[in-house]
Amino acid sequence: MSRQTYKVCFCCRRRFKLAVSEAPPEIRTLFHHYSDNGIMSASNLRSFMVEVQREEKISVEEAQDIIDGLKHLTLFHSRGLNLETFFKFLFTQNNSPLLPSSVVHNDMTSPLSHYFIYTGHNSYLTGNQLSSDCSDIPIIKALHRGVRVIELDIWPNASKDDVDVLHGRTLTTPVALIKCLRSIKEHAFVASEYPLVITLEDHLTPDLQAKVAEMVTQTFGDILFCPSSENFNEFPSPESLKRRIIISTKPPKEYLEEKEVKEKEDDLHKGKTEGDEEAWGKEVPSLRGGTISDYKSDVIEDDLNDEDDHEESERSRQNASAEYRRLITIHAGKPKGGLEECLKVDPDKVRRLSLSEPQLEKAVITHGKEIVRFTQQNILRVYPKGTRIMSSNYNPLIGWMHGAQMVAFNMQGYGRSLWVMQGMFKANGGCGYVKKPDFLLNSGWNNEVFDPKVESPVKITLKVTVYMGEGWYYDFKHTHFDQFSPPDFYTRVGIAGVPYDTIMKKTKAVEDNWLPSWNEVFEFPLSIPELALLRIEVHEYDMSEKDDFGGQTCLPVWELRSGIRAVPLYSQKGDMYNNVKLLMRFEFI
């Protein structure tokens, strides 16, 4: 047998052999400290949980329940835990780095504008922005992940007698609106009982708007929230809207134009100056086109001429607009004028403003504090720039640090930005609503607001110990990372947050090991821990090609549980692996 053949056979033999996972040295030391004669009793376990895990409220009885729950392990000891069983306990899902999922602990009685909301962009697309299919399937997937804002672009269908959902002026294939609505109703509250917002990007005629109003009303029935008045001075709370669906869109064009014309007519009757009359001659859209001056003449002629058919048509259009308008809880739209006009706060009326990713990046340079002030009461939606045709995403922290509630993402894509988005909404039990930090909601003594551009002093330091990992041997093909030898894993760990907190570090690579043990410590000083997310990635080092992906997760720092925790990792698309976990320790110093 040649030397080369022997090497291949030897590597193959190594590849399929998995060593026994052993407790890292610090875990052994802790076990011996909290055990007697090699056994950790319920009383010992309680001491460990209180002093190391910082779970101060745990009782001896609850510690005993933990021990009893480990009886299925083959190394169970009747009097308590031995080292091997204790080590296995640390890797169980009950030892999560976050509070158990579905435990909602934020105050949910504040207005909607006080929360970051899990928001989708073009929620109906299966892939890229130009030629993928439109379908209800990605909507269902998003709802099952806890997304609370679904966006539908609605257009007339080919025969102009019904409504489709599609990305307009592209090659995307449409899906019927009614199909999307029915799927939304069926899956709206699978992952969260808190309100689902449907944002409609409306490209319809008044007749089809009326048809949409009928569809929405009949499909959702009693779960549809219809506001009692057109305007709010503050939005309802998530708690008050539990298991309700609410609509957000621009008011119908016909209604806005009619309202504008009526206001101008009222001004005329009150007596306006000649200068004002000249201003009305500008090209302002009316119900029939032309100028407001033209419209005033038309009104007089309509009073003199018997145009019953036309008046009935106008009345029908206005009634259709009224039915559609009645459904809108969150009114959207940009006021005429520049950014300053858009960001004006009306104490008597709240609304939703939308800015594209580039518009926001430009606006925060000159109007950062005004955006923060606007979002204390109103809702800001941010959406990806049009050049992201492959459904990539952007840094969500730009929106969040300025108080933007609806940072809209392409949920069908994947990448680090989406991992951060998924990490944010692991908070608050995964219900899709995360209460904004107080500094984004309150003004100071001199009416000042939070300024993200001003560097703040360090509030706290997060100390992270990366002990080891396991599970790749079972969740990946044995040749996935390397054809002839076990993988060479390393871990990247860092912070996504405000610019002066953001950083990434990495461990050494552990060669040829399915059970890598790093035992490395990192410290992260945090000035704004309330907006910091802990990013964790595992990669397999490849000398000749791009490093292979081995798992990722992102965790909200403000919800991290202190102590030694089992951290499950996720795929690039955000699906949790069955077995891949890291053993880590989190300490706040």
CATH of the domain at 237: 3.20.20.190
Query: Is 300 in the same domain as 414?
Result: no
Is 446 domain-assigned? no
Q: Domains in the chain: how many in total?
A: 4
**Domain end among 90, 123, 156:** 90
Domain residue limits at 403? 112-250+332-440
What backbone phi and psi angles, to 5 degrees, belong to 426?
Answer: -75, -20
Q: Indicate if 144 and 227 belong to the same structural domain.
A: yes
Tell me, yes or no, whether 1 lies in a domain: no
How far, in Å, are 206, 215, 290, 305 from residue 293 at the CA level?
25, 38, 8, 19
Q: Do 483 and 559 fall into the same domain?
A: yes
Please give the Cα distance from 34 to 179 (Å, whole number): 59
List the single range of 184-198, 225-239, 524-538 with lowest mean pLDDT.
225-239
Who wins on pLDDT, 278 or 68? 68
CA atoms within 13 A on the CB side of 265: 14
Amino acid (one-letter) located at 212: V
Q: What is the pLDDT of residues 255-278, one digit of tens each?
A: 566 556 555 655 555 544 333 333
Quick check: is 131 in a domain?
Answer: yes
Q: Are residues 490 and 562 in the same domain?
A: yes
List the structure tokens of 322.
């009224």
3-state secondary structure of 346: strand
Phi, psi of 523 (to 5 degrees): -120, 140
Are 373 and 294 members of one domain?
Answer: no
Q: What is the mean pLDDT of residues 342-368?
A: 94
For the chain, the residue count is 589
Judgement on whether residues 137 and 234 belong to the same structural domain of the protein: yes
The residue type at 191: A
Only one residue has tokens 């039915």, namely 323
For residues 197 and 215, membership in a common domain is answered with yes
Are 346 and 305 in a shared domain? Answer: no
Q: Is residue 141 part of a domain?
A: yes
Residues 417-460: pLDDT tens digits? 999 999 999 999 999 999 999 999 998 888 889 998 888 999 99
pTM of the prediction? 0.86
CA atoms within 13 A on the CB side of 45: 26
Paired residues of 585 in beta bridges: 465, 564
Question: What does the pLDDT average to over 135-140?
Answer: 98
Lowest mean pLDDT among 235-239, 262-266, 467-471, 557-561: 262-266
pLDDT of residue 443: 86
Please give the residue that has the higher pLDDT: either 536 or 21: 536
The contacts of residue 150 (CB under 8 Å, 6+ apart) are: 120, 123, 139, 142, 143, 184, 196, 197, 198, 199
pLDDT reading at 132 higher than 90? yes
Cβ atoms within 10 Å, residue 165 = 28
- For residue 99, being part of any structural domain is answered with no
Is-contact 320 210, C-beta < 8 A?
yes
Tokens in use for 57? 């409220």
Does 58 map to a domain? yes
For residue 328, give the nearest of 149, 181, 198 by alpha carbon: 198
What's CA 254's distance to the chain center, in Å? 34
- 226 and 271 housed in the same domain: no
pLDDT in tens, 147-181: 999 999 999 999 999 999 999 999 999 999 999 99
In a domain, 347, yes or no: yes
Q: Which of 4-18, 93-107, 423-437, 506-520 has the lowest mean pLDDT?
A: 4-18
Whole-number pLDDT of residue 276? 35
Residue 290 in any domain: the answer is: yes
Compute how many other C-beta atoms are within 10 angstroms of the C-beta atom of residue 337: 9
Q: Let me know whether 243 and 141 are in one domain.
A: yes
Does one domain contain both 127 and 236? yes
| Residues designated catalytic | 121, 167
Here the CATH number for the domain that contains residue 528 is 2.60.40.150
| Residue 552 parent element (H or E) | strand 548-556
CA distances from 358 to 355, 364, 414, 522 (A): 8, 10, 20, 34
The bridge status of strand 163-165 relative to strand 175-176 is antiparallel
* Residues 404 and 292 occupy one common structural domain: no
Domain CATH code at residue 47: 1.10.238
